[in-house]
Amino acid sequence: MTNFPDTPVGAQAAWVLDVIRTGTITEADVREHFHEHMLTMVSAPALVALLSGLRTQLGAVELVAVDADSPEHVLAKFASPSGPGLVLDCLVAPTPPHLIVFANLEPSPPTTTATRSWDEIAGVGQSAEPDWIDSKLWDTRAQLRLGGLVFGVVEDGKLVDVRSGGVRDLADLSAIDEDTVVRIGSISKTFTATGVMQLVEAGRIGLDDPVNDHLRAYRLEGSSAPVTVRHLLTHRGGITPGSAAIGVPEGQPVPTLAEFIGPTLEVIREPGTVWEYSNLGFATLGQLIADVTGVSFEQYMIDHVFDPLGMANTDFIRSSRVTGALAIGCAAAFGEVGLVPYQDIIVRPAGSVFSTLTDMTKWVAAVMNGGANDHGRVLDETTFSSMVAAQFELPSGAGGMGLGFIALDLDGHRIAFHNGGWPGAASSMWVAPDDKLGVLLFSNTFAARNAGAIDQAVAAILGHLLTERA
């Protein structure tokens, strides 16, 4: 019989399985087992609804496989008599009481999904004589079992160095490179924020305007105080995280935001009081752009952000602008690397951009140059500078929240940062505007343990480059 390991994460994963089997859970249980970091992404009521509902959906699940790569991280596969089953990706804090920092439940991949052993893809595309940067990248790739990654250095607005290793597609072992189409995840939010700030700069909306003054597709309701544009840009809108899945399997119709959200979006906290990362908040900012301008959000971003910056191979949807070879998502688990089923993102303004490292270089150039690159300008320098400046300190103390960006300090260097993650995609962007230096990494692999380690590796490389310059 398969069992969870006798480790901190094993105990928490066993509790999750028990909840799925019984359907019995309260908000008090959630707060006892989940770290506050997790509760900023999914509210306690939403977790109760999600976990208790699985009993009805799946029936009596059975634990069939466990892949534990550390005392804090585990992947577990559950079989279900009434569905495809589930994979639990669970990460706990390293210190007692080892609360759950991240937990994700995804349908088990189909049995026909292509798989490869790690040895088959480990050395694909990697340099034979690695330097310090190569070694950092390849060690991180091996540690996290990343199918492929592509990394770039941008200096004074130019792409001056590219490193890539691994596969774009497990099926044919084709290599990933700087022109591979990648999904950048939540780095997309920095573009959405730019579109919003263009409307602020033009006087069409105000940062402190109530969102409901301009929103037409649906309403924000549940608070006596209004939710403002600034609140949504800084993840302090108090909006419900929601419990519905924000992905749609390939080939199925993608609902509009209005169809997905309905006539109202619930505000569950006093706006401006609590920082809670909100995909629905940023999706609403995209809807705001469409409602104010009268054109679709996606077209507005092409006309006013991507094309002015020369980003011809970038779009919020998988359109004719992004016809290059797509990095096919994959995940490492249970001794193999397998494909991740493709999903479209419903909340597009929050994380659905398709691009290439080459095109994203132009965005990094604009970030380090106050909203402009060699192709054009999208915002006044003063306006853009306000976006990458901290509005307040984040609860973690790890940095400040800007308007769509995270403001960090790296050894005394000012950093504009954002990362992203989606099943089959991970990204990390670090820009030092005062030093005119930036770095980017994109991968076609994401798991709970990946984001922090990827960010740490990218930050270490940027720190190394800054030190070499000194």
Q: What is the pLDDT of residues 78-88, one digit of tens each?
A: 887 766 677 88
Percentage of residues of the chain with pLDDT beyond 90: 62
Residue 306: burial class (beta carbons within 10 Å; 0-12, 13-18, 19+): buried
Greater confidence (167 vs 398) lies with 167
CATH number for the domain whose boundaries are 118-187+299-469: 3.40.710.10
Mean per-residue pLDDT for 2-28?
88
Percentage of residues of the chain with pLDDT beyond 70: 94
What is the structure's pLDDT at 41?
65
Q: Is the pLDDT of residue 104 over 80?
A: no
Query: Which of 26-35, 326-335, 409-418 is predicted with the least confidence, judged by mean pLDDT?
Result: 326-335
Greater confidence (127 vs 303) lies with 303
CA distance 351 to 297: 13
CA distance 149 to 442: 6
What is the structure's pLDDT at 82?
67
Query: Which of 32-41, 70-79, 209-218 has the largest mean confidence?
Result: 209-218
What is the structure's pLDDT at 37?
73
Query: Do the beta carbons of residue 280 and residue 231 sit within 8 Å?
Result: no
What is the structure's pLDDT at 433?
98
Strand partners, 87: 77, 106
What's the whole-model pTM score? 0.86
Q: In the chain, where are the structural domains located?
A: 8-107, 118-187+299-469, 189-295
CA distance 26 to 30: 7
Q: Is the pLDDT of residue 1 over 50?
A: no
What is the structure's pLDDT at 450?
56
Mean per-residue pLDDT for 94-99?
89
- Per-residue pLDDT tens for 227-277? 999 999 999 999 977 656 788 988 899 999 999 999 999 999 899 998 988
Query: Which of 25-29, 42-46, 456-460 is predicted with the least confidence, judged by mean pLDDT?
Result: 42-46
- Per-residue pLDDT tens for 137-195? 999 998 888 999 999 999 999 999 999 999 999 989 999 999 999 999 999 999 999 99
Average pLDDT, the chain: 90
- The strand pair at 343-345 and 247-249 is best described as antiparallel
Is the domain covering 8-107 a CATH 3.30.70 domain? no
75 pLDDT band, cuts 50/70/90, is confident
Write out the chain in H/E/C secondary structure. CCCCCCCHHHHHHHHHHHHHHHCCCCHHHHHHHECHHHHCCCCHHHHHHHHHHHHHHHCCCEEEEEEEEECCEEEEEEECCCCCCEEEEEEECCCCCCCEEEEEEEECCCCCCCEECHHHHCCCCCCCCCCHHHHHHHHHHHHHCCCEEEEEEEECCEEEEEEEEEEEECCCCEECCCCCEEECHHHHHHHHHHHHHHHHHCCCCCCCCEHHHCCCCCEEECCCCCCEHHHHHCCCCCECCCCCCCEEECCCCCCCHHHHHCCEEEECCCCCCCCCCCHHHHHHHHHHHHHHHCCCHHHHHHHHHHCCCCCCCCECCCCHHHCCCECCCEEEECCEEEECCCEEECCHHHHCCEECHHHHHHHHHHHHCCCECCCCECCCHHHHHHHCCCCEECCCCCCEECCCCEEEEECCEEEEEEEEEECCEEEEEEEEHHHCEEEEEEECECCCCHHHHHHHHHHHHHHHHHHHHC
